[in-house]
Amino acid sequence: MITIKDITIENYRSIIGTPLQLTLGKYNVIVGPNNAGKSNILRAFQLFFNGHVDSLPYDASVDFPKATNLHNAQTRITVTMQFDPSKDNKIDRAIKVLETESSQKRLSNNLLRLRLEYTRQGKPQWRFISKAGLRSIRAGLIEDVVEAVRSSIKFKYLPVGRDIQETISRELSDELIRTVFSGWSGAVKTRQQINEAIGTLLTRLEPRLTSSGEEITNAISGVFNEIKKLELRLPFHDLESMLPSLIPSLQDRYMTGLKGKGAGIQTSTLLFLLKYLAEHHPQRHNLRVTYVWAIEEPESYLHPSRQRAMSLVLQKFSEEVQTMITTHSAHFIPRSKGVLVAIVDKNTDEPHSTFIVGNEYDLARQLLGVSLLDSMYLYPFNLVVEGPSDEILLKGVWAKLFSKGKVSIDPSDVRFFPGGNASGACTLYESLITFGNASEVKVALIIDGDEAGEKALRGLQERTKYQTQNSLKSNKDFFQHKKTMEWLTAASVIDKLEEERPSQVIVSRNTSDEITNFIGQDKYKIKVAKRIVELSNIADLKDFKKLIILIENSFK
């Protein structure tokens, strides 16, 4: 079984100039705003393993449109794989021949690294990267390795927006037929029996086809005397040719084809067909083929209550089949071991290339913005805050105070929901109090006292008053800082941060040396929040303690 370990993409579609490097695990989630280039990462994989994207070969006008702006630049896709020589013997044999005839050695630990390059004319060129790096190796030797890899990996890219039946026909049908009719003990004998039955059927059908063909031949030859014979033939002669595609039908109240169902059911059916393949695929039966799925936005058209369930399905079959997805749904970004998250965005400067922002769960959730999907499952105590740094800061100091018996509620019973900003936090809080049962769970909002916080809170209060005829109560339903969460940090800790991380914090003082302003720089807020927790001792947390006790009292 082959495992893809990493990929480096350079000068392909939206990835321009600086290469994009991505390490992979079993279950890989790519998150980012619309038009950030998430799909282009999956397309690069498809181009590498299949030689085409949506049945089209590499085209520089589409795949490298900014080539004229970059001198001597080429599209390059480099992939590192790990294989098992005892199972992936095609690859092992091809590499052994290459090693013998070129004197180059493979990488350690059965790693294989290949690079696909394209000339300006769109001609593909392959490179084998050995222990010594890139060396001149006869093209035929490398092509044999590439052929072995491509015949050993079935890479299936399922883009969003395509007709589901077309996707099944194009990407899955052959594999489903092969799996359905080959993946059990005794399949060879059963297939023989089926083909014998098809032969019997053909024997009964052919006389009628022959007589009809003769009748049509007579009519045609009366006008076109050069036509000697017209034959009518069936488009199949055995099981494989008889089943060019499977046509799923579903019954709820009525039995209809898949196209007759809603878009959400169509998407879910596609994923369950993948699940079936994952559980019955040939590599489970010692065949020398490895499957890899790349699925674009699996949450498409699914109700929020179904998204979590489908996410669990994908995670489960990623244990069998290496899986990559792009998503805008927090349900598909589990905080689980073995899940690798990549957050991508586009650079605001020329050439506006796709790049990886980070790989932290909290950052991924923040990038998704306000998401009710991430808020459907509540803890006994729930706090909506403005950003991930607020969550890290309050959760961290809460744990310190609880460990010393200074507060009563265990922070593990508290779930934090960052809204992304003041407006997002208020919208998220509004959603949670609508869906949460007040007799079972407690929900509160913590918001900054700056202009944005004041404006967002005022809008929330007006909407709540209008919709429910009830007023939100301060220090019970919501807690507003005098300034920000960061302002609860002790002066001694701020001094240490200013000395230790001058580029990450902004500190202002008046002529009496009193601190008048303290904030973490936007791109360092999470790091600063973590460091505040680390530097603070119990005595430094008195202002945090006051806030937490207020919150605990409101939850009683």
Task: Identify the DSSP state of 540.
Answer: G
Residue ranges, CATH 3.40.50.300, the chain: 3-161+283-365
Q: Average pLDDT in the 233-260 region?
A: 62
Per-residue confidence (pLDDT) for residue 402, from 0 to 100: 92
d(CA 511, CA 267): 64
Q: Give the per-residue SS3 of 207-255.
A: HHHHHHHHHHHHHHHCCCCCCCCCCCCCCCCCHHHHCCCCCCEEECCCE
Nearest to 58 by CA among 102, 1, 123, 114: 123
Per-residue confidence (pLDDT) for residue 160, from 0 to 100: 66
Say how many C-beta atoms besides its own lie within 10 A of residue 500's C-beta: 11
d(CA 70, CA 455): 47
- Of the pLDDT bands very low, low, confident and very high (cuts 50, 70, 90), residue 374 is very low
Q: Which CATH class is domain 3-161+283-365?
A: alpha beta
Per-residue confidence (pLDDT) for residue 379, from 0 to 100: 76
Let me know: does 529 contact 392? Beta carbons within 8 Å.
Answer: yes
Q: Give the per-residue SS3 of 99-110.
A: HHHHCCCCCCCC
| CA 444 remoteness from chain centre | 31
Pairwise pLDDT comparison (82 vs 431), residue with the higher score: 82
Q: Average pLDDT in the 391-403 region?
A: 92
Beta strands at 124-130 and 133-134: parallel, antiparallel or unpaired: antiparallel
- Of the pLDDT bands very low, low, confident and very high (cuts 50, 70, 90), residue 334 is confident
- Of the pLDDT bands very low, low, confident and very high (cuts 50, 70, 90), residue 54 is confident
Lowest model confidence (mean pLDDT) among 156-170, 274-288, 347-361, 413-427: 274-288
Above 50 in pLDDT, residue 373? no
Above 60 in pLDDT, residue 387? yes
- Mean pLDDT highest for which of 39-43, 132-136, 447-451? 39-43
d(CA 497, CA 485): 16
Per-residue confidence (pLDDT) for residue 198, from 0 to 100: 79
d(CA 415, CA 412): 8
- Of the pLDDT bands very low, low, confident and very high (cuts 50, 70, 90), residue 185 is very low
d(CA 501, CA 507): 11
Tens of pLDDT, residue by residue over 197-230, are 878 888 888 888 888 878 877 877 777 777 777 7
- For the record, the structure tokens of 419 come out as 């809204």
Q: Average pLDDT in the 460-468 region?
A: 76
What is the rounded average pLDDT for all residues in the chain? 82
Q: Average pLDDT in the 88-100 region?
A: 92
Per-residue confidence (pLDDT) for residue 169, from 0 to 100: 61
Q: Average pLDDT in the 139-146 region?
A: 94
| CA 538 remoteness from chain centre | 41
Q: Which residues does residue 556 pair with via DSSP β-bridges, in sequence order? A: none
Above 60 in pLDDT, residue 531? yes
Nearest to 351 by CA among 69, 22, 48, 81: 69
Q: Which residues does residue 197 pair with via DSSP β-bridges, in sequence order? A: none
d(CA 70, CA 61): 14
Let me know: does 321 contact 292? Beta carbons within 8 Å.
Answer: yes
Kindly state the percentage of the chain with pLDDT values over 90.
Answer: 33
Lowest model confidence (mean pLDDT) among 116-125, 322-331, 405-414, 459-468: 459-468
Per-residue confidence (pLDDT) for residue 375, from 0 to 100: 44
Task: Provide φ and ψ at 199, rounded to 5°.
Answer: -60, -40
- Of the pLDDT bands very low, low, confident and very high (cuts 50, 70, 90), residue 3 is very high
